[in-house]
Amino acid sequence: MKRFLASLLVTFSLLGSGMAAERPNIVFIFSDDHAPHAIGAYDGWLKSVDPTPNIDKLAAQGMLFQNSFCTNSICGPSRAVIMTGKHSHKNGFMNNGNSFDWNQQTFPKLLQKAGYTTALYGKSHLKGTPQGFDDWKVLPGQGLYYNPDMITPEGQMRIEGHCTDIVTDLAVKWLQEGRDAEKPFMLMVQHKAPHRNWMPAPRHLHLYDDIEIPEPNTLFDRWWDNEKPARYQELEIDRHMHLNFDLFVDLVKDFDGKSIKGRVDKSAWMNMQRMSPEQLEVWRDAYAPKDKDFHAQNLSCDDLVRWKFQRYAKNYLRCIKGVDESVGTLMDTLKDIGVDNNTIVIYSSDQGFYVGDHGWFDKRWMYEESLKMPLIVKWPGVTKAGSKSERMVQNLDYGETFLDVAGAKIPDDMQGRSLVPLLKGEQPADWRKSIYYHYYEYPSVHMVPRHYGVRTETHKLMKFYQFGEEWEFYDLENDPDELTNQYNNPAYADKIAEVRAELDRIREHYEDDSDVAEKPKAWQETMRTPAL
C-alpha cells in the first residue's frame, strides 16, 4: 500500500509539473575494455584506422567527455559503482572475486520506482540475480563470444551467434516489442567485446588485413624494470601475451580438448569448442595462411613484439567494429520506432585499456590509459552537437545523472554528482577539481598491486601500500605518458605537499580507509615477496 501511494505521488507530482510525457528515455550502451584512444572521436593515435564511425557520429551529435575516469579500473567493481553511485568500499564490490549485494539501493531500482521501465542485456559481471529490471538476460561471468549461454529470469539458455550481435538483437527486440510503451524506459546494452581474448565476429575476421595498425610511441617502454611497483606486473605483450591462447596462432590446428587441460585461462579454447563447424571453417580460412607466414618469418625480440602487437590490435579493433555496428543499429532502431528525439544515448565502457601502450595489454593501473573511460552523451535538444567537456567526471556520477534526468530524487548517500548541468552546457563554478581512485585486486591475474591516489587537472599522486609504502607522482602537463616519477624530485616538493593534502581531504570526503580496514590474512599470506 505504502509503495502504491508513493508511486501515485510520483505520478501526480510529475504530471503536475508537466514532466510525465517529456521524461526522456535512456539507452546506456556499455562495452568492456574499450579504451578512449580506440574511438575516433577521442583523437588518439588509433584514429587513422577509423575504428568507430557510428560512435563518432554519436559524438558529433552530442557531448564527448575528455576527462572521464573510473574509480577502480576493473570490470565488476566499475559496474557496481555505476549501479550504486558509491565507491567500491561503500558498495562492497571491491574486486572481481566479490559478489554484488543486489539487495542494496541501485539507480535502476530507483528509476523503476519513479515510473520507468527497465531492461539489462549482456555482460553484468556482478553475479547473483539482477534486481531493478523488468527484463534481463545476462552472460554468466565473463560469458563467451561464440554461441554463449545466457542467464534469464526463466533459467539458463544457449543462444547461437556472436555475442555482440546477440546482445544487440535482444535490445532491439525489447525496444520494438518488449517494453511497456506507456512508460519512459531505461535500457542497458552491455557488450562483452572487446574483452580478452578479443574474438571478432566471423564477418570481421579479414578487416584491417591490408593495413598496418600504428604503434603507440611507448610500445617499447621498459619502465617497469626500475624501482616502480610496476615491476610486479604481468601485462606485457612481450612476455605475457600468449601466441596460441591470446593470438590464436595454430589454435585451429591444436584445439582438440587435450591441449587445454591444466591451463588457468581457458576462455579462448572454450570459445573455439563452442563454435559450429561453419564458424570454425571461417576462422581456419582467416588465420591459417597468416600463421604460415608467421612461422616462415621466424621472428624474435622486438620484431616478434611488433608482430604480436599487430595481431592483437587488429583483433581488438575488429571486436570494436562489432560494437560500433551495434551502436549504429540501436540508433537506427530508436529512429524507426519514433523515439530518437526523446532518448538520451550514452556510450561508455567499464575502464580504459592498454593497446600496446607501455608495451602492455589489460588495465587496473591508475595510469592514464586504464584510468580514463570513454563517455559520450547525446541528449536531443540539450547537448550541443559536437561539444566537448573538459570537466573531471567519473562512473560514480552516472547513476545520479540518470535519476536527475528522470526527475527522481537523488538519495543523500550516493557519492557522485549529476552531470546534467554539464550536459546543458553550464559551467558550475564549484565543479570537482580532482578525482579519487582505489584498486584492490592483488594477488590476481596480471599482478597489479593495490593502490589508491588522486588525480587533479594537472598532477597525479599514487600510493602503493601492500609492500611497505611506495609513492608515485606525475606532472601530467609536462609528462603526459607518465614516464618520470617525480616523487623524490625536490623541485616538486611543494606541489606534492599540496596534492597530498588533497588526497587526505578526498579520502576523508569519501570515507575511505579500506586499505587499513580490509586486510584479510589470506591475501597477506598468499601475496608475493617483493623483489628487492
Can you give the binding site for Ca ion, defined by CB under 5 A? 32-33, 75, 350
Which residue has the CB atom at the shortest distance from ligand SGN? 75
> What is the nearest approach in angstroms of ligand SGN to the Cβ of residue 89?
18
Residues 114-143 that bind ligand SGN (CB under 6 A): 125, 142
Select 90 or 196, whichever has its Cβ closest to ligand SGN.
196
Per CB under 6 A, 32 contacts ligand SGN: yes
Question: Nearest Cα to 247, choosing from 316, 300, 295, 192?
Answer: 316
Residues 386-445 that bind ligand SGN (CB under 6 A): 445
> Could you give the dihedral angle defined by the CA atoms of residues 23, 30, 427 and 479, in that order, rounded to the nearest 10 degrees?
180
Residue 325 interacts with which of Ca ion, ligand SGN, none, CB < 5 to 8 Å by class: none
Question: Nearest Cα to 446, choosing from 384, 364, 351?
Answer: 364
Select 62 or 76, whichever has its Cβ closest to Ca ion.
76
How many chain residues bind ligand SGN (CB under 6 A)? 15
Select 275 or 447, whichever has its Cβ closest to Ca ion.
447
Residue 446 interacts with which of ligand SGN, Ca ion, none, CB < 5 to 8 Å by class: ligand SGN
d(CA 90, CA 298): 52
C-beta separation of 362 from 233 below 8 A? no
Select 33 or 441, whichever has its Cβ closest to Ca ion.
33
Residue 196 interacts with which of Ca ion, ligand SGN, none, CB < 5 to 8 Å by class: ligand SGN
Per CB under 6 A, 369 contacts ligand SGN: no
> What is the nearest approach in angstroms of ligand SGN to the Cβ of residue 391?
26
Peptide bond into 197 cis (omega under 30): yes
Per CB under 6 A, 368 contacts ligand SGN: no
**In sequence order, what DSSP letters do the residues of 355-418 get, joined into one string?**
SSGGGB----SSSHHHHB--EEEE-TTTSPTTEEEEEEEEGGGHHHHHHHHTTPPPPTT--S--
> What is the nearest approach in angstroms of ligand SGN to the Cβ of residue 283?
17
Per CB under 6 A, 291 contacts ligand SGN: no
> Could you give the dihedral angle defined by the CA atoms of residues 346, 409, 25 and 349, in that order, rounded to the nearest 10 degrees?
20
Select 350 or 357, whichever has its Cβ closest to Ca ion.
350
Residues 88-107 that bind ligand SGN (CB under 6 A): 96
Peptide bond into 443 cis (omega under 30): yes
- Residue 500 C-alpha cell reads as 597530498
Instruction: Name beta bridge partners: 398.
Output: none
> What is the nearest approach in angstroms of ligand SGN to the Cβ of residue 46?
20
**In sequence order, what DSSP letters do the residues of 505-527 get, joined into one string?**
HHHHHTT--HHHH---HHHHHHS
- Residue 171 C-alpha cell reads as 535490445
Contact pick of 64, 70, 75, 331 for ligand SGN (by CB under 6 A) = 75
- Residue 355 C-alpha cell reads as 593497446
- Residue 311 C-alpha cell reads as 595481431
Residue 445 interacts with which of Ca ion, ligand SGN, none, CB < 5 to 8 Å by class: ligand SGN
Reduced to 3 states (helix: H, G, I; strand: E, B; else coil), residue 301 is helix
d(CA 76, CA 81): 9
Residue 169 interacts with which of ligand SGN, Ca ion, none, CB < 5 to 8 Å by class: none
Residues 157-216 that bind ligand SGN (CB under 6 A): 195-197
Select 75 or 205, whichever has its Cβ closest to ligand SGN.
75
> What is the nearest approach in angstroms of ligand SGN to the Cβ of residue 142?
6
C-beta separation of 350 from 373 below 8 A? yes
Per CB under 6 A, 236 contacts ligand SGN: no
Select 77 or 161, whichever has its Cβ closest to ligand SGN.
77
C-beta separation of 330 from 344 below 8 A? no
Contact pick of 63, 74, 171, 371 for ligand SGN (by CB under 6 A) = 74
The site for ligand SGN (CB under 6 A) is made up of: 32-33, 74-75, 96, 125, 142, 195-197, 265, 267, 362, 445-446
